[in-house]
Structures are given as C-alpha cells and as structure tokens.
Amino acid sequence: MVRFILKRTGYMLVTFYIVLTLTFLSMKLLPGTPFKQAQKLTPQQLNTLKSYYGLNDPIPVQYVRYVWNFIHGDMGGSFQYGNEPVTDFLFARFPISLQLGINAMIVGTVLGILLGIVAGINRGKSLDWGSTMVAIIGVSIPSFVLAAILQFFFSVYWRIFPVAGWGGFMYQALPTLALAIGVTAQVARFMRTEMVEVLNQDYIVTAQAKGLSRATVIYKHAVRNAMIPVITIVPPMTAAVVTGSLVIENIFNIPGIGSQFVDSIVTNDYPMIMGTTELYALLYIVSLLVVDILYQLVDPRMRVTGGKA
Amino acid sequence: MMATVNQEVSKELFAPADIDHSSSERIAGESVSAWRDSLRRYVKSVPAMVSTIIIALTIVLSIVGPHFFGYGIDDQNINLQNMPPKIPGLTWIPAFDGKYQGVDVYAQKHIKKAYWFGTDALGRDIWTRTWSGTRISLIIALVATLVDIFIGVTYGSISGYIGGKTDTIMQRIIEIIAGIPSLVWIILLILIMQPGLFAITVAITATSWIGMARLIRGEMMKLKNQEFVLASRTLGAKNSRIIFRHLIPNSLGMIIINTMFSIPTAIFFEAFLSFIGLGIRRPQASLGSMINEGFRVLMIYPYQILFPGVIISLLLICFNLMGDGLRDAFDPKLRR
C-alpha cells in the first residue's frame, strides 16, 4: 500500500512537471510583449526592460529559473496589478473558492445520494421517472444558465438572496446551489444504478426474510453497500466543479480565483493565467491521486497486486 | 349419432406422422438484423424520439431562421434598442406581448413590424442572432466531434490491435494528457492560437478524443481474439482489412453512443468559452456569447438571455436523452 502511494505520488509529480513545462512553453509562444504600451517605447527602453526581467536570456536559462522560482513559491508578478506577486493573489483568493467548492460538493453529493435512493427504491414508478428527469436536466443545463436563472428569480424578482458578493450563508446559498446541481445529477444517476443492483442481491432477500422492516433493509443493507462506489466518483468531479466555479464566481461576483482567472484572461495577464492554470492542474492531479487511494481502501478487488495494473 | 360412438377404433385409422425436420428449424418471424432491432428499440423510446424531433427542428431553424426577416447578424438600429419580443398572434402569452414593464413599446414608437425575440442593446434582431448562433454552436460541435471520432478511432484501433510495447507507449501518452484537466489544455491552446472558430474547435478536439480512443482500444482488445477475426485471418485478410471490415463495424454501436455524448460536451465547452470571453469574436454570435451579452442586462432586460439560454439547455437535454436512447437501443445490457 505504501509502495503504491509512493508510486502514484511519483507519477503525480511527473505529470505536474509536464504541466509546468507546458505552461512555460505556451507563455513563450504567446504573441506580443508583456509590457503595457510597448509600441511607445524605444527599442533601447524595451531592451532594458527585457533584460531587467531576464527575458533576454536564452530560453533554457529562463526555463531553469522559472522552475527554480516555482519551487520556491514565486510565480512572478501580475501584469495587471503593478507586478504584485501572483502567489499572494492566489493565497488570498483560494480559500474563498475552496469554501464554495466544498459547499457545492457536500450539498451536491448529499442531494444526489438522496435522489438516487428515492429513484432506486421506486424503480419504474413515477418517482423514479421524476428524479431521472431531474438528473438529466441537471447534467444538461450549463451551470452559467442555471446561475443566471437562480439569480434572476431569487435575487432580482423575489429579492430573497443578495444579488452578488461574498459573505455569510445568504451570499453562499445561490452560488453553492448553482454549482451543486451538476454534482447532484451525476451522483444521483450513479447512486440509482447502484441501488437497483444492490436491491437485486440475495442478501437483501435474506434480510427481508429475517423479518427486518423495510426501512432497516434499505438503510442498513442496501444504502450502505450502494454508497461504496459512489465515494469514488466524487473526487473526479472536482474538475467539473472547478470549470463551473470559473463562471459562477464571475456571475455572482465572488472574489475567488475563478473570477480572477476570467479577469486575467480578459486583460492578458499572463503570469496570473499561468499561476492559476498550475494551481488548477495541481488540484486536479491531487484529486486523481485521492481517487486512486480511495479505490484501494474501499474495494479490495481493485487492489493492485504487484506488476502492471 | 349412436353409430359413430360405437364405432370401433381400428388400427388402420392410424398412419405414421410425416416428420419434417426442416419445419422445426424454420423461423416463423421475419429475420431482424441487429441494426433493425436497435432501430426498433430506439423508435419505441418516447424521450429519445421527442428529442430527435426537437433537435431536427432546431437544426432546420438554425438553417432557415436567420433569413426569416432579412436582417444580418450585425445589422444595428440605434432607434430600436432593447425592443421586447413580440410575435403577432401570440401576444396573449406574456413573454411575447411586446410590452416592457406594462408599456407597449411597439405602440409607443409607432412600429408596425414585430421582432419575434426582441432586439438587443445595439438594436440587432435577437431572432436572427439566436439562430445563427445556434448554427455556429452546432457546426463547432459537429466538426469537433467528427475530428474527435477520426482521431480517437484511429489511435484506439492502433493501440488496441497492435498491443504490446506500442500499446504501452500510446497509453502512457494518453495518461499524461488525461492527467491534466481539459480546461487547462483548452485555455492554453486558445491563448496560443488566438480565440476564434478554428481555435475553439481545435481546443475542444484536443481533449475529447481521449475518451473515444480508450473506448475503442477496449473494444479492439475484446474483439481481436474472437473466432471471426481468426477465420478472416486464416482466409488471408490483412490487418487493415481486419480492422476496417471487421473490428470497426463491430464497434460501431459503441462509437455512435459515445458520439452522441461528445456532441453535448462540445456544445457546452463552446458556450462556456464564449461566455468567459475566449470564444467567438464579435460581431459573430454563438449561443455562449449571446448568453454572455444577455447576462449583462439580465436585471433590466431578462428576455435577452431567455432565448439563447432556453435553446442551449433544450439542445443539451435532447442530445443527452438521444444518447441514452441510443445506448439502450444498441446495448440493452447497459440499460440502467
């Protein structure tokens, strides 16, 4: 097990190193100069600026410096905000995005499991049909359309929640919901399948034959077993939540890294784009690692027994 | 009457039955090919059929819709900004009564013609823009999906059919690509290539072929050891013939199902990119960029986001339902 985790962590580091290299290369491939109003500068001034930022060194030297700086937590300065370190921005804004993401994951998973259970035990009835429809609609409608609908009705029309901003529960409710629906839908579909499968198992019949009540059979025997595989589909959904958070944060004007990212794309703030990209990649790669380890812990059949998996 | 009852049952009345073995082998029903069978199952599925009809309608409208009124997608009319939607004959529906906050704007401005979906902040006809936007979204999705099938099927077949070292190397490459979130790939690619139709299509394709390649590889590995492949090889078929005449046609069901799920993903990513400002350039419109424009005036003119929002949601729901229907039709084992 320890060996497995070490090996996976090694893979993870390699993948992340590739991301780092790719972002560096694409930064070099990007058109234009990083300086504001570069056309107004004389070639000499431009040259001085370039050598000040080390942009005149050969690409390999720049590359080594870039990696070295990254290891020391320096991702360069933002173009947009007077060369302020990108890392500071990310550290200041990340907790907000994390909070939103975790909210959405928890709400989405809990709702999804409930919906899946309801659908699974009422298989083929109208409740099943209804929750399947909800799941398909949840999977299909883009989160930004949903967010706009929620914002319009709950904030503008009925004035229940604040329109935008970040703060306590009232501020968090709508963005969390908008982000959670996609998770809910996926978990619900998965949970329903698992429930249907588990309910057909012999041990459910045994439990019923023992004279256990319906609630006990469903909760103690069916749901608990059906939930095991669901655990493993939750972490990969971080990618979807991250994608969603980009637009959701923008729509609700939440000061997280998502809205920052969209801003930096619009203003061509390359170091910020690269820094955020790397952070997202890291998040995703770590979540894949977590899934791998979870699989191992949860399902002994998946356990890697030496050799190639 | 009595006579018949008393008649003796004699041996001569019996004769050996004629046993025709071929009759027991005869199939009573008409023979049904796997394709026909799938089609029959598909047509029976109500949600799938309704979705098919809605998608067909949307496609037709996206082709003829922009030419309905003769406006161009960028024809601006500063005098007619933000006109609410009005459809003659449907004015009893609140959304199409041509009134803005209870005031009939059309009467106020003495305008005879009606904008079915209203106009935007520059006085452009939203009907025209919505349908041409739908067309662009659909074209991007279609092209991205076709390229994705082509690359995915080729890569997957080579990897799965040849196997061994080639397979290992090809799979490691896929693992690295898949280890990086697709959002990151897409954004990096678009920044390098400059946003636009081409860049979006390339960026969407760059990540979406992986799912297809993995699926096809699995199918190839499953099929390549089956007897019919061995038979074909015994008869002297070359690898290319085996792949193209036997293996790919046998995994066609899988390919079609997966395609139906890649189309909505591509539509979503296009809209997403246009929404965050990395997509279609102005003055061209796509559903995503129209939702973006509509969102800016959501508080004042909610109808401007309504139509593109409804159409994209409807398209995505219908494509997903169609995909579900096709999956059930082609592979009843996967039915959930």
List chain A domain ranges: 102-254
Distance of residue B163 Cα from the nearest chain A Cα, in angstroms? 15
| Chain A: closest CA distance from residue B184 (Å) | 6
Give the gap in angstroms from C-alpha A120 to the nearest C-alpha of chain B: 10
Section B192-198 average pLDDT? 81
Residue of A nearest to B180 (CA): A281
**Amino acid identity at B317:** I
B275 at interface of A, judged by CB pairs closer than 8 A: yes
Rounded average pLDDT over A130-142: 86
CB atoms within 10 A of CB B48: 23
- The Cα-based distances of A237 to A112, A124, A177 in angstroms read 13, 28, 15
Q: Which of residues 46-65 of B touch A (CB under 8 A)?
A: none
Chains A and B form CB pairs within 8 A to the count of 113
Handedness of CA B192, B179, A190, B334 (dihedral sign): positive
Of residues B282 and A257, more confidently modeled: A257
> What distance in Å separates residue A285's CA from the closest CA in chain B?
6
Q: B206 — contact with chain A (CB < 8 Å)? A: no
Residues of B in contact with A277 (CB under 8 A): 184, 187-188
Q: What is the dihedral of CA A19, A25, A30, A35, to 10 degrees?
A: 100
Q: How far is A287 from chain B (nearest CA, A)?
A: 10
Shortest distance, CA A280 to any CA of chain B (angstroms)? 8
Confirm or reject contact between B182 and chain A (CB < 8 A). Answer: yes
Conformation bin of residue B325: beta by default, left when phi > 0, alpha when psi is -120 to 50:
alpha
Question: Predicted confidence band at B332 (pLDDT cuts at 50, 70, 90)?
Answer: low
The answer to whether residue B316 neighbours chain A at the CB level (below 8 Å) is yes
Distance of residue B314 Cα from the nearest chain A Cα, in angstroms: 8
pLDDT of residue B55: 92
Q: Is B80 on the interface with A (CB under 8 A)?
A: no
* B194 close contact with A: CB closer than 8 A: yes
CB contact under 8 A, A26 and B275: no
Averaged pLDDT for residues A264-288: 81
Question: pLDDT tens digit string along A85-112?
Answer: 888 888 888 888 888 888 898 999 999 9
3-class secondary structure, A128:
helix
- What's the per-residue H, E or C state across chain B? CHHHHHCCCCHHHCCCCCCCHHHHHCCCCCCCCHHHHHHHHHHHCHHHHHHHHHHHHHHHHHHHHHHCCCCCCCCCCHHHCCCCCECCCCCCCHHHECEECCEEHHHHCCCCCCCCCCECCCCCEHHHHHHHHHHHHHHHHHHHHHHHHHHHHHHHHHHHHHCHHHHHHHHHHHHHHHHCCHHHHHHHHHHHHCCCHHHHHHHHHHHHHHHHHHHHHHHHHHHCCCHHHHHHHHCCCCHHHHHHHHHHHHCHHHHHHHHHHHHHHHHHHHHHHHHCCCCCCCCCCCHHHHHHHHHHCCCCCCHHHHHHHHHHHHHHHHHHHHHHHHHHHHCHHHCC
Note the pLDDT tens digit of each residue in B274-302.
Answer: 888 787 777 788 888 888 888 888 777 87
Q: What is the pLDDT confidence band of residue A286, given thresholds at 50, 70 and 90?
A: confident
Give the span between the Cα atoms of A207 and A137, in whole angstroms. Answer: 35
Q: For residue A36, what pLDDT is reported?
A: 62
Test mutation, B192, B202, B292, B315, chain A, max A CBs within 10 A: B192
Q: What is the mean pLDDT of residues A101-124?
A: 88
With left for phi above 0 and alpha for psi between -120 and 50, is residue B277 left, alpha or beta?
left
CB atoms within 10 A of CB B296: 12
Interhelix angle B287-296/B303-330, nearest 10 degrees: 140
When CB atoms are compared, the residue of A12, A139, A246 closest to B320 is: A139
Q: What is the pLDDT of residue A309?
A: 34
pLDDT value for B37: 78
Residues 6+ positions from A118 with CB-CB distance below 8 Å: A127, A128, A131
Q: Is the pLDDT of residue B27 over 80?
A: no
How do residues B37-58 score in pLDDT, each as one tens digit? 778 888 888 888 888 899 999 9
Distance, first Cα to last Cα, chain A: 14
Taking the CA of residue A141 and the nearest CA in chain B, the distance in Å comes to: 5
Q: B10 touching A, CB under 8 A? A: no
Backbone angles phi, psi at B97, to 5 degrees: -90, 0
* Cross-chain Cβ contact A145/B312 below 8 Å: yes
Average pLDDT, chain A: 81
* Chain A residue nearest residue B296, CA to CA: A251
The model's confidence at residue B336, banded by pLDDT at 50, 70 and 90, is very low
Contact A19 B180 (CB under 8 A): yes
pLDDT band at A251 (very low <50, low <70, confident <90, very high): confident
CB contact under 8 A, A136 and B194: no
Q: What pLDDT, in 10s, does the model give residues B72-99? A: 777 777 777 777 777 776 666 777 776 7
In tens, the pLDDT along B103-133 reads: 777 777 777 777 777 777 777 888 888 888 8
Q: What is the pLDDT of residue B232?
A: 86
pLDDT of residue A306: 40
Question: Is residue B257 within 8 angstroms of chain A, CB to CB?
Answer: no
B301 contact A CB<8A: no
Average pLDDT value for residue range A170-176: 85
Q: Which residues pair with B97 in a beta bridge?
A: B86
How is domain A102-254 classified at the architecture level of CATH?
Answer: Orthogonal Bundle (1.10)
Nearest Cβ partner of A285 from B179, B319, B321? B179
Q: Do the Cβ atoms of B317 and A145 come within 8 Å?
A: no
- CB within 8 Å of B197: residues ≥ 6 apart: B136, B140, B280, B284
Contacts of A273 in chain B (CB under 8 A): 187, 191
- As a whole number, the mean pLDDT across chain B is 81
Q: How far is B297 from chain A (nearest CA, A)?
A: 11
Residue of A nearest to B300 (CA): A156
pLDDT at A107: 92
Note whether B276 contacts A246, CB cutoff 8 Å. yes
Q: Is the CB of B193 inside 8 Å of chain A's CB atoms?
A: no
Q: Is B324 on the interface with A (CB under 8 A)?
A: yes
Tell me how far apart the alpha carbons of residues B183 and A277 are, in angstroms, rounded to a whole number: 9
Q: What is the mean pLDDT of residues A249-268?
A: 82
| Chain A interface, best mutation among B260, B293, B295, B299, by max A CB count within 10 A | B295
Asked whether residue A50 carries a pLDDT value surpassing 80, the answer given is: no
pTM here? 0.81
pLDDT recorded at residue A305: 47
- Residue A192 contacts residue B336 (beta carbons within 8 Å): yes
According to the model, what pLDDT value does residue A135 have?
86
CB contact under 8 A, B316 and A247: no
The beta-carbon neighbor of B188 closest among A12, A26, A196 is A26
- Chain B positions touching A250 (Cβ under 8 A) are 276
